[in-house]
């Protein structure tokens, strides 16, 4: 490989001193979820090799979290590949043999059919009565369209109906990965050297647009890895362990929930008002899963789901249940199929404020409450407590603060684009463009809330930098 000299000392060079010194641009990716990993993988494969991933937790994957219990894999986070035609996540899974053959029934759209085969959903009331099939069919399609768990909102009243069409569904079947969605994460990470990723490395503040103070510069100068070229960087990433990492570009992939909580302190100077408004207007809430494992099934062989229908309840008109009635937000328990793989396991869902309340309780309390609920709706007082419970807690996790985004009332797809817009907004001849970039599912206008949206957003930001440094990459090749 040959390297070519890039000359010129003009301070008006928009690509900063990094290119003039003929070095790779320094790129820091914050977050090792699907967006961060796909961005890093794309950068490395295209010749931009000075990349560092800073991950606050002790694992990669972000909101993908597969847990192995016995012979089964349970998804606390992302579960489905939504659509197959042109979906990059589907193609990764298909190309690597992660998908099993499924019947037409299993391929049908909807949560239940992805788990259960040729089964029947039991719609039960809190009085222990089963609702007749013909009555269920009258409202089930509408109910499935407006179920708040699908939007990760507290209530459908919070979802902007005028913007409901922004989200675009990819055609084709929905799939799960039996061996765990984490396999997609591992495939992306396979081509990323271990030295690139730093775990347990939370970021405190991003000092951009050469706003770093003289004091911080002195701290950075004392860093053993610091060089003269660091002084040409426009961005310094301040980590919680007090390390300052110089960069030409930072790709921020943290969740919308984290941005809502920390954007005032996370960026110096603070974000432009336009971006702050986008962060505040867009919505993110919590959808949690509750897995209950039983010694033996108490449900009949043909039952694939237990749907809860509360009737004649005064509280039903309220958007929020009293805290002690949080369990009323559990919409159903699905039977995981096949039992040979999962054992006798029910998978429940809860969202919104009630999910946050659930997260406050210990496992014993949640398991006991769910058991009482199942006894009440089935009319069977002899249902035993589960032998094991596993559940997620995305809302109270300070590194995520929610499950996935949605277009909240008052927001629009334009806000999604504003969230994705890189900083600085005004490109001066004396500043490096795209110093701070944004990716993650919440930044994809068509595919927000999805794994493929997260992956594509990372590739999008990487592509911007590859295009920006095309001349340098061409010279080096």
Is there a single domain that holds both residue 413 and residue 271?
yes
Q: Is the pLDDT of residue 250 over 90?
A: yes
Q: What is the mean pLDDT of the chain?
A: 85
Euclidean distance between CA atoms 3 and 477, whole angstroms: 8
Predicted pLDDT at 273: 97
CA-based torsion, 434, 438, 439, 441: positive or negative: negative
Is there a single domain that holds both residue 376 and residue 407?
no
CATH number at residue 255: 3.50.50.60
Backbone phi, then psi, for 124, in 5-degree steps? -115, 145
Predicted pLDDT at 112: 36
Which of 369, 391, 413 lies at the terminal end of a domain, its last residue?
A: 391
Asked if residue 213 belongs to a domain, the reply is yes
Euclidean distance between CA atoms 150 and 142, whole angstroms: 13
Predicted pLDDT at 460: 98
Domain that residue 354 falls in = 111-162+287-391
Predicted pLDDT at 124: 85
Q: Is the pLDDT of residue 436 over 90?
A: yes
Is there a single domain that holds both residue 270 and residue 335?
no
Is there a single domain that holds both residue 250 and residue 300?
no
End-to-end CA distance of the chain: 6
Number of domains in the chain: 2
Predicted pLDDT at 18: 46
Is there a single domain that holds both residue 262 and residue 222?
yes
Q: Is the pLDDT of residue 222 over 90?
A: no
Predicted pLDDT at 183: 98
Q: Is the pLDDT of residue 461 over 60?
A: yes
Asked if residue 98 belongs to a domain, the reply is no
Predicted pLDDT at 385: 96
Q: Is the pLDDT of residue 131 over 90?
A: no
Predicted pLDDT at 11: 37
Q: Name the burial class of residue 340, with classes exposed (0-12), middle (13-18) and buried (19+) by CB atoms within 10 angstroms of its CB.
A: exposed
Asked if residue 92 belongs to a domain, the reply is no
Q: Name 205's bridge partners.
A: 238
Is there a single domain that holds both residue 295 and residue 442?
no
Q: Is the pLDDT of residue 126 over 50?
A: yes
Is there a single domain that holds both residue 378 and residue 291?
yes
| pLDDT class of 314 with cuts at 50, 70, 90 | low
Lowest-confidence region among 74-78, 317-321, 437-441: 317-321
- Which token pair is 111? 């949560």
Is there a single domain that holds both residue 321 and residue 309?
yes
The pLDDT of 280-303, averaged and rounded, is 95
Is there a single domain that holds both residue 375 and residue 301?
yes
Q: Are 202 and 56 in contact (CB under 8 A)?
A: yes
394-403 pLDDT, tens digit each:
999 999 999 9
Euclidean distance between CA atoms 395 and 246, whole angstroms: 32
Q: Is the pLDDT of residue 257 over 80?
A: yes
pTM of the model: 0.88
Asked if residue 209 belongs to a domain, the reply is yes
Name the DSSP class of 315.
G
Q: Is the pLDDT of residue 156 over 70?
A: no
Euclidean distance between CA atoms 442 and 458, whole angstroms: 11
Which of 338, 360, 391 lies at the terminal end of a domain, its last residue?
A: 391
Asked if residue 304 belongs to a domain, the reply is yes
Is there a single domain that holds both residue 366 and residue 340?
yes
Backbone phi, then psi, for 468, in 5-degree steps? -65, -35
Q: Is the pLDDT of residue 281 over 90?
A: yes
Task: Output 241 or 173, whichever has higher pLDDT.
Answer: 241
Q: Is the pLDDT of residue 159 over 90?
A: no
The pLDDT of 237-251, averaged and rounded, is 97
Predicted pLDDT at 321: 74
Asked if residue 373 belongs to a domain, the reply is yes
Is there a single domain that holds both residue 276 and residue 405?
yes
Q: Are 244 and 219 in contact (CB under 8 A)?
A: yes
* Most confident among 82-86, 270-274, 471-475 (mean pLDDT): 270-274
The pLDDT of 188-197, averaged and rounded, is 97
Orientation of helix 182-189 relative to helix 34-45, angle to 10°: 30
For the chain, state the CA radius of gyration: 25
Predicted pLDDT at 293: 97
The pLDDT of 154-168, averaged and rounded, is 68
Which of 330, 365, 391 lies at the terminal end of a domain, its last residue?
A: 391
Residue 338: partners with Cβ closer than 8 Å, 6 or more residues away:
117
342-391 pLDDT, tens digit each:
999 999 999 999 999 999 999 999 999 999 999 999 999 999 999 999 99
Q: Is the pLDDT of residue 228 over 90?
A: no
Lowest-confidence region among 110-114, 368-372, 404-408, 452-456: 110-114
The pLDDT of 165-178, averaged and rounded, is 87
Euclidean distance between CA atoms 402 and 32, whole angstroms: 17
Asked if residue 10 belongs to a domain, the reply is no
Predicted pLDDT at 227: 60
Predicted pLDDT at 150: 59
CATH number at residue 335: 3.90.660.10
Q: SS3 of 21, please? A: coil
* Most confident among 175-179, 297-301, 327-331, 437-441 (mean pLDDT): 437-441
**Closest by CA position to 148, among listed 318, 319, 24, 389:** 319
3-state SS string for 189-245: HCCCCHHHEECCCCEEEEECCCCCCHHHHHHHHCCCCCCHHHHHCCEEEEECCCCEE
Phi-psi region of 118 (alpha: psi -120 to 50; beta: other; left: phi over 0): left
Predicted pLDDT at 428: 65
4-35 pLDDT, tens digit each:
432 233 334 445 444 444 689 999 999 999 99
C-alpha dihedral (457, 458, 464, 466), degrees to nearest 10: -150
| pLDDT class of 51 with cuts at 50, 70, 90 | very high
CA-based torsion, 221, 222, 223, 227: positive or negative: positive
Is there a single domain that holds both residue 28 and residue 122?
no
| pLDDT class of 132 with cuts at 50, 70, 90 | confident
Asked if residue 82 belongs to a domain, the reply is no
């Amino acid at each position: 490989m040959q390297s070519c000299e890039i000359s010129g000392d003009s301070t008006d060079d928009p690509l900063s001193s990094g290119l003039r010194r003929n070095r790779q641009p320094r790129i820091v990716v914050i977050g090792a979820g699907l967006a961060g990993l796909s961005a890093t993988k794309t950068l490395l494969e295209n010749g931009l090799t000075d990349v560092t991933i800073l991950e606050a937790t002790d694992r990669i994957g972000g909101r993908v979290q597969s847990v192995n219990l016995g012979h089964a894999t349970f998804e606390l986070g992302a579960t489905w590949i939504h659509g197959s035609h042109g979906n990059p996540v589907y193609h990764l899974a298909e190309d690597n043999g992660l998908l099993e053959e499924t019947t037409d029934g299993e391929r049908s759209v909807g949560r239940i059919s992805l788990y259960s085969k040729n089964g029947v959903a039991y719609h039960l009331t809190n009085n222990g009565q089963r609702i007749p099939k013909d009555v269920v069919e009258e409202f089930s399609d509408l109910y499935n369209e407006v179920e708040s768990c699908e939007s990760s909102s507290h209530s459908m009243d919070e979802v902007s109906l005028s913007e409901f069409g922004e989200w675009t569904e990819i055609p084709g079947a929905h799939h799960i990965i039996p061996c765990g969605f984490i396999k997609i994460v591992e495939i992306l990470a396979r081509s990323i050297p271990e030295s690139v990723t730093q775990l347990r490395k939370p970021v405190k503040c991003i000092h951009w647009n050469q706003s770093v103070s003289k004091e911080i510069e002195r701290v950075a100068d004392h860093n053993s890895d610091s060089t003269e070229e660091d002084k040409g960087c426009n961005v310094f990433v301040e980590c919680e362990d007090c390390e300052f990492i110089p960069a030409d570009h930072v790709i921020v992939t943290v969740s919308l929930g984290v941005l809502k909580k920390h954007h005032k302190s996370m960026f110096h100077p603070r974000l432009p008002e336009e971006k702050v408004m986008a962060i505040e207007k867009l919505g993110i809430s919590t959808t949690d899963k509750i897995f209950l494992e039983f010694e033996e099934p108490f449900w009949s062989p043909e039952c694939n789901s237990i749907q809860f229908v509360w009737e004649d309840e005064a509280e039903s008109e309220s958007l929020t249940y009293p805290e002690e009635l949080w369990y009323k937000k559990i919409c159903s328990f699905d039977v995981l199929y096949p039992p040979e793989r999962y054992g006798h396991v029910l998978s429940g869902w809860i969202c919104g404020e009630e999910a946050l309340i659930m997260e406050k309780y210990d496992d014993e309390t949640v398991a006991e409450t769910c058991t009482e609920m199942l006894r009440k709706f089935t009319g069977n007082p002899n249902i035993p407590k589960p032998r094991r419970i596993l559940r997620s807690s995305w809302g109270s996790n300070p590194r995520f603060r929610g499950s996935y985004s949605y277009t909240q009332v008052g927001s629009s797809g334009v806000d999604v684009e504003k969230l994705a817009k890189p900083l600085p907004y005004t490109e001066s001849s004396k500043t490096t463009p795209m110093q701070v970039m944004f990716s993650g599912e919440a930044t994809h206008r068509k595919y927000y809330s999805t794994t493929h949206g997260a992956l594509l957003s990372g590739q999008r930001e990487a592509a911007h930098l590859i295009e920006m440094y095309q001349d340098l990459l061409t010279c080096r090749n």
